[in-house]
Amino acid sequence: MAERYDLAIVGGGPAGQAAALALQGHGLAVAVIDEQPHPGGQILRQPPREFGVTGWMGGKVYAALRRQLGQFEALSGLDWLGGRSVLGLSRSSDASFVLTLSGRSGVETLRARRVLLATGCQDLAVPLPGWTLPGVYAAGGIQAFVKSQQIVPGKRIVLAGTHPLQLLIADQIVAAGASVSAVMFAQSRQAMARLLAESPLVAARQASALLPAGAAMARLRRRGVPVRFGESLLGIVGGERVEGVRSSAGETACDAVGLCYGFVPQSALPRMAGAGMRAAGPAGGWAAECDAWQRTSVAGLYAAGETTGVAGAAAAQCAGRIAGAGIALDLGLLAPGAAERRVAGVRRAHAKHLKFAALLDRIADPTGHFPVMAPSTIVCRCEAVRLADLVSCLDGRSANAVKLASRCGMGPCQGRNCEPTLLRLLGDRADPGFSARFPARPVMLGDLAAPE
């Protein structure tokens, strides 16, 4: 790794790869940083190089993403900085950005004239009675085990929530040889069908995006996996680990649960940088605001993909290409007309994907389906703050004030898990949530200390 780059891309998923590819040939010094050792993002989280996996992510859904990943991995002249977390970014006196990274070799800093944040999203954490029992996972966490580590963290798994992705995850679990006890959608099937019927054109044009979920459901049905609608989670039961779930339809035995109520942008870095943010959507969270070239409100800082709103990998690829052209434009490598021509088709595709994402947002909307918490339900896992501890200090305060009063959000995750829940409880739409603090990920003191 060098000390200075023209561009640092944070995130090697669909958006980050697309931006790097769009900028190839311009002679820029580019670094791509990712917490995973290999590129792909969560959608194509690669198996370790030591594994031999036949037909990995072979479905047609993933074909375009696999192709782009192949092109990205073949790129020469960019520095792939995998296995590193970005702890923070600041502005140096020469107007470049300073990124603080941590990884196996300790803490490193790099400077970049421009930074593109393509950090993706995370599962929305949804508190309910029993959700802290070992064996309860974010659905995306289970899927990452299946895709990358080639394990299934349970023998009988229940997936529950409101997001159709759980059909694909269940399908992948079954294909891997484990058993899915049930897939539970909190919303009714009729409500989902009605939303599709309300947007027939969007649905029809994006049939290819809907088909996999439908095909997955058909396969699950054939294998006898119950896919049930209008079934709300009431609680997860077990002694020291998951033994089953209680739902509106009764009890289902299982040894693992995947919660799938939607996704929220990874927003720590744009918030730390002071970029303008907006409420991300029905699942909650904060999205970085950008203009038509993916510029944030902070000069030189760009964002693309799900950092700017959860809209799927195809939309992220488009946004990455637009960001690449925008960065080339701003660096004087492309004339305005040429930049616009380069992305004209991409913009049309992007708009189409965003329309579909908006439809999916409505279908998957967890609002109104969040499980009912008990007073003893833990809202902040890091600090073990219960709902009852919070209720006494909600009286019209800001999220930051509740944090100070209750410790909610004071732990190692910096409130990434509990913030959406707290903001729902506060119900103040103007509350910007917790102040973003350094470091975005925990880091060893000894790695940060000045040399002796």
Partner 1 sequence: MRKADVLIVGGGLVGCATAWHLARGGAQVTLLEAGDIGMGASGQNAGSLHFQLERRFLENGEALAEQAARTAALSRLAIDDWRGLEAELGADLHVVMDGGLMVAETAEQVGVLERKIARENAEGLATRLLDGDEARAIAPYLSAGILAAGFSGDEGHADARAVTRAFAEAAAHAGAILRMRSPVTSARRLDRGFEIACADETLQGDRLVIACGAWTAQICARLNLHMPLFPVALLMNATERTAKGLRHLVQHVGRRLSMKQTHAGNILIGGGWPARLAQAPDGTFDPRRRPEMIAASLAGNMRAAIDTAPFVAKLNLIRSWTGVTAISADQLPIVGEVPSMPGCWVAGGGSAFTLGPTFARLMAQAMGGRAAPELDIVSPARFEHLNSFMG
Partner 2 sequence: MRIESKVERQAPFSLQVEGETLRAYPGETIATVLVERSPVIGHMANGDAQGLFCNMGTCCLCMVTILPEGRRVRACLTAAEPGMEIGLG
**Does residue 150 touch partner 2 according to CB under 8 A?**
yes
Contact region for partner 2 (CB under 8 A) — 33-41, 213-221, 325-333, 338-346? Answer: 33-41
Tokens 């109104």 sit at which residue? 368
Query: Greatest CA span in the chain, whole angstroms?
Result: 67
Kindly indicate which of the ranges 45-53, 288-296, 299-307, 340-348 contains the residues binding partner 2, using the contact rule CB under 8 A: 45-53
Task: Rule CB under 8 A: say whether 339 interacts with partner 2.
Answer: no
4 by DSSP, 3-state: which? strand
- For the CB of residue 38, give the shortest distance to partner 1 in the complex, in Å: 25
Total number of residues that touch partner 2 (CB under 8 A): 60
The owner of tokens 């009063």 is 405
Residue 197 or 450: which CB sits closer to partner 1? Answer: 450
AA identity, residue 94: D
Of 100, 232, 308, 417, the residue at the interface with partner 2 (CB under 8 A) is: 417
Q: Is 36 in the site for partner 2 (CB under 8 A)?
A: yes
Distance CA 20, CA 75 (A): 9
Binding residue (CB under 8 A) for partner 2 from 50, 222, 450, 451 = 50
Which part of the chain contacts partner 2 (CB under 8 A), choosing from 10-18, 139-147, 217-225, 348-356?
139-147
85 touches partner 2 (CB under 8 A): yes
Report the C-alpha gap between 434 and 389 in whole angstroms. 18
Which H helix or E strand runs over 142? helix 139-144
When asked if residue 351 is in the footprint of partner 2 (CB under 8 A), the reply is: no
Q: How far is CA 188 from CA 85, 230, 281, 360, in A?
A: 40, 4, 21, 15
Residue 332's binding partner out of partner 2, partner 1, none, with CB under 5 to 8 Å set by partner kind: none
Helix (H, G, I), strand (E, B) or coil at 192: helix
- We find the least distance from the C-beta atom of residue 414 to partner 1, in angstroms, to be 7
CB nearer partner 2, residue 135 or residue 366: 135
Residue 111 in 3-state DSSP?
strand
Smaller CB distance to partner 2: residue 172 or 296? Answer: 172
424: its two tokens? 């729902």
Q: How many CB atoms lie within 10 A of CB 325?
A: 25
List binders of partner 2 among 189-248 (CB under 8 A). 240-242
Q: Which does 282 bind (CB under 5 to 8 A by kind): partner 1, partner 2, none?
A: none
Which span (44-52, 277-285, 349-357, 421-429) binds partner 2, by CB under 8 A? 44-52
Find, among 133, 127, 156, the residue nearest to 233 by Cα: 127
**Shortest distance in whole angstroms from residue 375 CB to partner 2:** 14
Taking CB within 5 to 8 Å according to partner kind, which of partner 1, partner 2, none is near residue 154?
partner 2
- What is d(CA 449, CA 102) in angstroms, rounded to the nearest whole number? 13
- Rounded to the nearest whole angstrom, what is the least distance from the CB of residue 36 to partner 2 in the complex? 8
Which residues lie near partner 1 (CB under 8 A)?
88, 90, 98, 100, 109, 383, 396-398, 400-401, 404-405, 407, 410-412, 414, 435, 437-439, 442-446, 448-452
Compute the distance between CA of residue 58 and CA of residue 263 in angstroms, rounded to an integer: 24
- Secondary structure (DSSP) of 299-348: TTEEE-GGGG----HHHHHHHHHHHHHHHHHHTTSS-HHHHHHHHHHHHH
d(CA 406, CA 386): 9
Find which of partner 2, partner 1, none residue 98 binds, CB within 5 to 8 Å per kind.
Answer: partner 1
* Torsion-angle region of 262 (φ positive above 0: left; ψ -120 to 50: alpha; else: beta): left
- Between residues 88 and 164, which has the closer beta carbon with respect to partner 1? 88
Nearest distance from residue 84's CB to partner 1, in Å? 16
- The verdict on 449 binding partner 2 (CB under 8 A) reads no
Quick one: 451 exposed, middle or buried, by C-beta within 10 A (0-12, 13-18, 19+)? exposed
Amino acid at 331: L
Do β-strands 30-33 and 4-10 pair in parallel, antiparallel, or remain unpaired? parallel
123 binds partner 2 (CB under 8 A): yes
Pick 381 or 397: Cβ nearer partner 1: 397
Could you tell me which of 153, 173, 176, 177 has the C-alpha nearest to residue 165?
173
Q: Is the peptide bond before 439 cis (omega within 30 degrees of 0)?
A: yes
Chosen from partner 2, partner 1, none, partner binding at 438 (C-beta under 5 to 8 Å by type): partner 1
Nearer to partner 1, 345 or 442 (CB): 442
Partner from partner 2, partner 1, none binding residue 88, C-beta < 5-8 Å depending on class: partner 1
The answer to the question of residue 169 lying near partner 2 (CB under 8 A) is no
- Least Å from the CB of residue 437 to partner 1: 5
Among 83, 230, 282, 432, binds partner 2 (CB under 8 A): 83
